[in-house]
Amino acid sequence: MKEYDTYIFDLDGTLLDTLGDLSASVNYALRLHGMAEHSVDDVRQFVGNGVRLLMTRAIPDGENNPAFEDTFETFRTHYLEHSLDTTLPYPGIMEMLGELHKRGKRLAVVSNKLHTATKDLCRHFFAGFIEAAIGENEAAGVRKKPAPDTVVEALRQLGVGCEGAVYVGDSEVDIATARNASLPCISVLWGFRDRDFLLSHGATTFAEQPSDLL
């Protein structure tokens, strides 16, 4: 696979397997507010566009539900407290990041996860490798993906431009984000979406395992 100078990674489904903790927090909030819970496979399909849309998909009638805001806040509070219960890097991720770092590559993470959670998770798992971690923070003028803002901010913090940079993600949102940021995109196949789904959303380059990125 082509080697790049800068790698911008999605987080959930790309570097970290967060599905267990996300599912637990979704179902905790639904259960507390008397709503039907979802399977892990259901939640897998809900993720990718930020936590508010995750809960919009999970809660009956979405934002039209009178209990939406309370349920969303319950989820948010629970997830911030339990985001490390079962979350771990996918097999091979640490070795891949270590090798890219050794080669002098610039590494960043952009996510639709809450900005605080994004930074905390990157600090916990990837300290020394990830130089910039940007999460959902529209209050600071950084729109969530697929807007290019998080990528633009990551490149700014790294002090580099688009030339020689690549976006790595696992979802249709990541494909659109890369396109909007004028970056090539590598779609990974160990995350939340499969090859056929990604192909149907315009994916062209795939990594079947983390070592394929080297």
Question: What are the Cα distances from residue 105, in Å, to 2, 37, 56, 60, 117?
Answer: 13, 42, 38, 44, 24
pLDDT at 107: 98
Contact indicator for 174, 61 with CB cutoff of 8 Å:
no
> Does 33 score more than 80 pLDDT?
yes
> Does 49 score more than 90 pLDDT?
no
> Which structure tokens are listed for 172?
């249709």
Give me the torsion for CA of 95, 8, 208, 93, rounded to 10°: 20
pLDDT at 66: 98
Contact indicator for 188, 14 with CB cutoff of 8 Å:
yes
> Does 60 score more than 80 pLDDT?
yes
Quick one: which of 194, 192, 190 has its CA closest to 207? 190
According to DSSP H, which parts of 33-171 are helical? 40-46, 51-58, 68-82, 93-102, 115-126, 149-158
Q: What's the whole-model pTM score? A: 0.91
Across 135-141, average pLDDT: 78
**For 81-120, how does the pLDDT look when each residue is reduced to its tens digit (9 = 90+)?**
998 999 999 999 999 999 999 999 999 999 998 788 889 8
Q: Given 5, 10, 21, 194, which residue is catalytic?
A: 10
pLDDT at 18: 92
> Does 75 score more than 80 pLDDT?
yes
10 counts as catalytic = yes
